[in-house]
Structure 1
Amino acid sequence: MRYFFQLLGALILTQVSFAGTPPNVVHIVADDLGVMDVGFMGDERYHTPNLDRLASQSMVFTEAYAPAANCAPSRACVMTGQNPTFHGVYTVGSSERGRASTRKIIPTPNRRYLSDEHVLLTEVFQRQGYTTASVGKWHLGKDPTAQGVEINIAGTQGGSPGRGGYFSPYHNPNLPDGPEGEYLTDRMGAEAVRIIKKHKDEPFFLYLPFFSVHTPIQGKPELVAKYADRDDVHPEYAAMVESLDQNVGRVLDTLDRLKLADNTIVVFTSDNGGIRDFSPQDPYRAGKGSYYEGGVRVPLTVRWPGVVAPGTTSDVPVTGLDFYPTYLDILGLDAGKPLDGESLLGLLKGANTLNKRPLVWHFPIYLQAYNPETDDGRDPLFRTRPGSTLRYGKWKLHHYFEDMAYELYDLEADIGEQKNLADKMPEKLAELTAMLERWRETYNAPVPTQPNPIWSQNTL
């Protein structure tokens, strides 16, 4: 059925008509921005007035999740509408991360980039007559213009800024250098504004995946100085967050000046949780690369004047996999059953719920630790060991393949995932385990079990 969908994609995605002007879309993705790194989620460490303004005009999803805990798989899921068991992008680079002797089993091989068989969101919009532009980090293939992107600014197969970091000269083949010392986040904001101005009289899909706040952690000197005396933030990181906020503000102001705001959907989110070593995500546990809440919870706001009531919130658990079916719903397209998310259009229009569903993350791979002292992971060597995680209602289940261990948490009572109830609630454990096993069977999800011959049990 899934392959049938891919083969018929060109036929299915051609039948849209609008009573009025099609809505523009500005889909903004921060890189590695934690759920607690923005003011509208209740943490005031960082200066985010523009994001807070956007949130006040939007629906804020208070329980939003990335479809994966690190960059490439999360973006691949959003752009395909399908989880990694189908597209094969489970992580960045190799699945054999960390010291070889510390990996007990052989992980599932990883696909680095999306294959050409996939119909990406950019291609969906392009086929509907939209100008499609990507400004910033692509990370899904070597040539974004072969993947539905008409205008590519700075996008490459790489996941980080070029050798110049956040200051020009950038050494990015798809971004001409600016004046020496120009700041990359400012340049991305300027390029986004330029595209909006140029294409204001036609429908556009602007994908704006900022490099910020991905490493290297480099802020503008004048903003770093602003935070130098603060002991509750990393000054360089705080400066990067503020620059990101400023440039989101530039985009919003441009939409207002050009009188495009009323017919433009603006989405703001992050690709995964924040790096705990730079910015703790308390009360959530761990951070980027982990499937505890701090690694997969993300900020999410959606603004659509006349459709989304401003200043509203939804506590329904949603995921980045939901963007693809939502956009299809908005465009009036029918993709059939193969997509792995659900349309959020009803929620955006004011319905207070979706059908109750499990959210599942499957990660048959390894991700080594950033900092064992601050990561707050399951063990000090890895942020992620091979396993699966499921959320259903208030319950969160973790299953690890190396030792076939389970962790069960009640998120209403224990949002920090500190009290493992697996031994105390055998019936609930059995119910959720069966649900997870059905999901893995349905998706033919690989469960690696082959022993690693050079593993040493003395390493941990």
Structure 2
Amino acid sequence: MLLLGISRFAVAQDPKPNIVLIMADDLGWMDVGFMGSTYYETPNLDRLAKQGMVFTNAYAAAANCAPSRACLMSGQNTPRHGIYTVGEADRGGAATRKLIPVANNEILPDKIFTLPEALQAAGYNTATIGKWHLGKDPRTQGFDFNIAGNLKGANKHFVPYQNPNIKDGPAGEYLTDRLTTEAIAVIEKQQAKPFFLYLPYYAVHTPIQAPADLIAKYKQKPKGAGQDNATYAAMIESLDTNIGRLLQKLDDLKLTDNTLIIFTSDNGGIRSISRQTPLRAGKGSYYEGGIRVPLIFKWPDRIAAGSKNITPVTNLDYYPTILDILKVKNKNTYSDGQSIWPVLRGQTIPERTLYWHFPIYLQAYDANSDDGRDPLFRTRPGTVMRSGDWKLHEYFEDGALELYNLKEDIGERNNVALQHPEITRQLHQQMRNWRQTTKAAVPTQLNPEYNPKARLPEKKKKDN
């Protein structure tokens, strides 16, 4: 039985729900109170968790910003849209890369009928406030209204923001506060009609910056194991406080009862800033710490309050789930996610396999703390899959296979591929079949600059 703590409840027949999708940036699986952190304070998110359903096996479809967001907005996995990272695919020292990686796409293709486009067609007002990262202007891909969204990430969290799509506020203004104020204004303006509010905060992405009074608070607080960065903790509290502001506005306007709220993160957290123990590694890695994320769904009287679910789900599922709720057909040729609306109603879905494909390189953040496969890279080219409790990694440079039983080894420390050759063989064949079906590009060209003796990582180019 996958559902925990569910009670019976009636399903009301109300008009189309408002939809509020809140996405934190680089917030780790264990960086919130409702997932077990004792250092970070998230009372508003903890309350939201008690009012809805928490997924403990929730994943992003990619381990860093742009590809994860592309998967969410398209409902399609990375081989379909070709967005694998931010910027170039050949990150890290040239001499340490054995293969020429697949070229990276930075713009979500126009041929994809996005989630906001589908909601526009269904009669929704659509707005995005915050980080877009999939093109220059999200209004070309289904949003009626855009504040702060473009192709770039955040340069800073205090004015001046250096963002062409949001005007600077008064001196000292904090970006998380400002985005929430803008979101509240949009809700007040659009409440007469069903609305889709996409609120992808720039927090808690680097640069790690927060209000001074909150930083001082956490400097006085006892540290947690692997969670001890006072400024990062202050960023999380500020994020939580602002989500509380937004939720209060929905209450004040009497919109809460017919509003579906989704809260999540775009990928795992940066391990050198905040550890996700017992998970291994962090952002940019396809070990669990890089792809597991916190996830809450709330919709009063449709989703049981205080429920937890262990079904493995991914942000590829949000698009088909929302369309299922609205009884709208998906116009895309491909849909790699699956509706989890039955799960949200207390039922189950058939077990399925989840896939991640990353034919690229991402350089290390911190060779001493990343906890990846090697100290030079968070990610080397490969594919990962999860089938039941089994998780298989394949790495293209050397053909290495790593098999883990997540039920027994959630930290992915004990590679049991040799102990279970038949399971490894079956899963590997299934993985190859999936790559063929999705036409997933696999790098095979050798890099002429490669030097197997090269060991020193190149200086970090960017934070994504």
Is TM-score (shorter-chain normalized) higher than 0.5? yes
Q: Which amino acid aligns with 1:339?
A: S
Instruction: Give the whole-Å Cα distance in 2 for the aligned partners of 1:200 and 1:96.
Output: 46
String of CA shifts for 1:262-285, please: whole Å, max 9, x gaps: 000000000000000100010000
Structure 2 alignment gaps of length 5 or more? 1-11, 456-464
User: Which residue of the other structure, out of 316, 321, 330, is the alignment partner of 1:326?
Assistant: 321
Q: Equivalent residue for 2:178?
A: 187
Identity %, equivalent residues: 57
Instruction: Give the whole-Å Cα distance in 2 for the aligned partners of 1:434 and 1:172.
Output: 46
3-state DSSP of counterpart to 1:399:
strand
Correspondence 1:22-421 to 2 at 5 A = 22-159=16-153, 161-162=154-155, 165-229=156-220, 230-232=222-224, 233-335=228-330, 338-351=334-347, 353-421=348-416
String of CA shifts for 1:371-406, please: whole Å, max 9, x gaps: 011100000000000000010000010000000001
Deviation at 1:325, TM superposition (A): 0.5
Instruction: Give the whole-Å Cα distance in 1 for the aligned partners of 2:31 and 2:404.
Output: 24
CA contact (8 A) 2:39 2:223 kept: no
Instruction: Give the whole-Å Cα distance in 1 for the aligned partners of 2:270 and 2:13.
Output: 45
Deviation at 1:212, TM superposition (A): 0.3
Instruction: Give the whole-Å Cα distance in 2 for the aligned partners of 1:144 and 1:359.
Output: 28
Q: Which amino acid aligns with 2:339?
A: S
Q: Which amino acid aligns with 2:74?
A: T
CA RMSD of aligned residues (A): 1.2
Instruction: Give the whole-Å Cα distance in 1 for the aligned partners of 2:293 and 2:223.
Output: 24
Deviation at 1:150, TM superposition (A): 0.9
Instruction: Give the whole-Å Cα distance in 2 for the aligned partners of 1:321 and 1:115.
Output: 16
Instruction: Give the whole-Å Cα distance in 1 for the aligned partners of 2:189 and 2:212.
Output: 32
Instruction: Give the whole-Å Cα distance in 2 for the aligned partners of 1:433 and 1:156.
Output: 38
String of CA shifts for 1:90-142, please: whole Å, max 9, x gaps: 11111110011110000100001112111111111111221101010010110
CA contact (8 A) 2:129 2:182 kept: yes
Structure 1 alignment gaps of length 5 or more? 1-17
String of CA shifts for 1:340-387, please: whole Å, max 9, x gaps: 010010001110x21111100000000000001110000000000000
Deviation at 1:145, TM superposition (A): 1.1
Q: TM-score, normalised by structure 2?
A: 0.93
CA contact (8 A) 2:14 2:258 kept: no
Q: Which amino acid aligns with 1:426?
A: P
3-state DSSP of counterpart to 1:398:
strand
3-state DSSP of counterpart to 1:390:
strand
3-state DSSP of counterpart to 2:118:
helix
CA contact (8 A) 2:303 2:345 kept: yes
CA contact (8 A) 2:59 2:313 kept: yes
Deviation at 1:435, TM superposition (A): 1.1
Instruction: Give the whole-Å Cα distance in 2 for the aligned partners of 1:415 and 1:435.
Output: 22
The change in CA–CA distance for 1:345 and 1:450 in structure 2 (over 3 A counts) is: same
Q: Which amino acid aligns with 2:392?
A: L
Instruction: Give the whole-Å Cα distance in 1 for the aligned partners of 2:85 and 2:207.
Output: 19
Instruction: Give the whole-Å Cα distance in 1 for the aligned partners of 2:322 and 2:192.
Output: 21
Q: Which amino acid aligns with 2:423?
A: K
3-state DSSP of counterpart to 2:357:
strand
Deviation at 1:335, TM superposition (A): 2.2
Instruction: Give the whole-Å Cα distance in 2 for the aligned partners of 1:447 and 1:24.
Output: 41
3-state DSSP of counterpart to 2:15:
coil
3-state DSSP of counterpart to 1:325:
helix
Q: Which amino acid aligns with 1:224?
A: I
Q: Which amino acid aligns with 2:396?
A: F
Instruction: Give the whole-Å Cα distance in 2 for the aligned partners of 1:266 and 1:119.
Output: 22
User: Which residue of the other structure, out of 452, 455, 458, is the alignment partner of 1:457?
Assistant: 452
Deviation at 1:19, TM superposition (A): 6.6
Q: Which amino acid aligns with 2:420?
A: M
CA contact (8 A) 2:122 2:328 kept: no
Instruction: Give the whole-Å Cα distance in 1 for the aligned partners of 2:250 and 2:223.
Output: 37
Instruction: Give the whole-Å Cα distance in 2 for the aligned partners of 1:211 and 1:29.
Output: 9
CA contact (8 A) 2:99 2:447 kept: yes
